[in-house]
Amino acid sequence: MNFFELPNIFQKINLRTVNKLFGLLRKKELRYVIFTVLIIGVYFSDGFFSLSHKKIEKKATTMNFYNESLKINVENPVLDSVVNDKEREQLLYAIENRIVQFLYEIPDYSLIPSLETYLRYSPRLLDEIPSCVPLEKGNYDLRSQFGYRIHPISGGKKKHFGLDFAAPKNKHVFATASGTVVSISHSEVGYGTHIIIKHRFGFQTLYGHLTKVLVSKGQFVKQHELIGTVGASGASTGNHLHYEVIKNGVKVDPIPSLNLKKNILKKLIN
C-alpha cells in the first residue's frame, strides 16, 4: 500500500463513521440531543449569572462597611481631630479606589445607599449619574410609572419601561446627568422625537415625545442642561415626557433616581 494513500483511507473511515452516527440518530432522537445541549447551556449560564450576582453582593457588603465606618467617623468625632481626619482620609481613599468599578457593575439603584455617605463628600459623582427630575419645577404630573399597565392606545396589558410626566407643550426638558448625546430620532410612532444620552458607569437616559430638540448628536451636555421641550410626537395621547433610565443595556425603574441628588445634598447641608 502506498503510504500517501493512508490519509484518504482515514478520511473515508471518518466520513463513513460520521454518516453512520447521524443515521442512527433519528429526528426525534436528534431533538432530544439538542434539547439536552440547551439545558446544559442554560445551567452553566445561570451559574455564571449567579456567581456574578454574588460577586456584586460581596462588593456591596464591603462598600456598606466603608460607608458605615465613614458615617461613624463623621457623626462621632474623637477628641484628637488630627487622628479623626486621618482615619477619614484613609476611608475615603479606600472607597475611591473601588467606587468606579462598583458603579459600573451595579444593576440598578438598589445598591446606591451603600455609597451615600461617600457621595456627600464627593457630590460631583452625582452629576454623572441620572439623579434628578428631567423637568423644571412647575405644573407637571407623574401619570404612568415603570411596570405593567393598560396601554392608553392599544388597550392591552403591556410593560411600561419608563415614567410619563404629563406637562404643558414646550415645557423645558433637562438632562438628568452629564453625558454625550448618542442618538436623536424622529418618528411618527413609538417614542416620536426622542433623545438618548450616554453617561458614565453604564447609564443611559431616553427622553421621548418631544416637540423640539435643542442639542445635536455627539454634543456633550451637563446635568440640568436644557436639551428639548415637551410635546406629543409619536404614539401619544397628549403632551407628556416619556423618560427612561438604562443601566448596562437593561431598562430600570427611574423612580429611585428622581430625588437622589436632592436628598444627599440636603443631608450634606444639614
The residue from 57, 89, 121 where one domain ends is: 121
Average pLDDT of the chain is 80
What is the CA angle 192-196-200, rounded to 5?
Answer: 165
Residue 133 maps to a domain: no
**What pLDDT digit, counting tens, does each position of 174-232 carry?**
999 999 999 999 988 889 999 999 999 999 999 999 999 999 999 999 999 999 999 99
Please indicate, yes or no, whether residues 196 and 92 belong to a single structural domain of this protein. Answer: no
CATH number for the domain that contains residue 188: 2.70.70.10
Please indicate, yes or no, whether residues 116 and 213 belong to a single structural domain of this protein. Answer: no
Please indicate, yes or no, whether residues 182 and 226 belong to a single structural domain of this protein. Answer: yes
Q: Which residues pair with 149 in a beta bridge?
A: 158
Percent of the chain exceeding pLDDT 90 equals: 41
**What pLDDT was estimated at residue 104?**
92
User: Range of 83's domain?
Assistant: 33-121
Say if residues 146 and 165 touch (Cβ distance below 8 Å): no
Please indicate, yes or no, whether residues 160 and 250 belong to a single structural domain of this protein. Answer: yes
The residue from 89, 121, 153 where one domain ends is: 121
Which residues lie closer than 8 Å to 233 by C-beta, 6 or more apart?
Answer: 186, 187, 188, 192, 193, 209, 210, 211
* Other beta carbons within 10 Å of 221: 20
* Region 35-61 average pLDDT: 59
Residue 224 maps to a domain: yes
Give the number of domains in the chain: 2
Residue 27 maps to a domain: no
Q: What secondary structure, in 3-state letters, does the chain show?
A: CCHHHHHHHHHHHHHHHHHHHHHHCCHHHHHHHHHHHHHHHHHHHHHHHHHHHHHHHHHHHHHHHHHHHHHHHHHCCCCCHHHHHHHHHHHHHHHHHHHHHHHHHCCCCCCHHHHHHHHHHCHHHHHCCCCCCCECCCCCEEEECCEEEECCCCCCEEEECCEEEECCCCCEEECCCCEEEEEEECCCCCCCCEEEEECCCCEEEEEECEEEECCCCCCEECCCCEEEEEECCCCCCCCEEEEEEEECCEEECCHHHCCHHHHHHHHHHC
Please indicate, yes or no, whether residues 64 and 105 belong to a single structural domain of this protein. Answer: yes
The residue from 121, 149, 182 where one domain ends is: 121
Residue 239 maps to a domain: yes
Instruction: For 156-195, give one letter per residue: b (16+ CB within 10 A) or e.
Output: eeeebbbbbbbbeeebbbbbbbbbebeebbeeeeebbbbb
Residue 74 maps to a domain: yes
Please indicate, yes or no, whether residues 111 and 46 belong to a single structural domain of this protein. Answer: yes
Residue 183 maps to a domain: yes
**What pLDDT digit, counting tens, does each position of 71-97 carry?**
787 776 554 566 677 777 777 777 887
Please indicate, yes or no, whether residues 117 and 146 belong to a single structural domain of this protein. Answer: no
Q: Which residues pair with 208 in a beta bridge?
A: 242
**What pLDDT was estimated at residue 119?**
87
Please indicate, yes or no, whether residues 162 and 254 belong to a single structural domain of this protein. Answer: yes
Interaxial angle between packed helices 81-105 and 27-75, expressed in degrees from 0 to 180 and rounded to the nearest 10: 160
Please indicate, yes or no, whether residues 161 and 107 belong to a single structural domain of this protein. Answer: no
Please indicate, yes or no, whether residues 109 and 179 belong to a single structural domain of this protein. Answer: no
d(CA 163, CA 80): 49
Residue 197 maps to a domain: yes
Please indicate, yes or no, whether residues 158 and 232 belong to a single structural domain of this protein. Answer: yes
**What pLDDT was estimated at residue 10?**
46
Please indicate, yes or no, whether residues 218 and 176 belong to a single structural domain of this protein. Answer: yes
Residue 107 maps to a domain: yes
Q: Which residues pair with 184 in a beta bridge?
A: 195
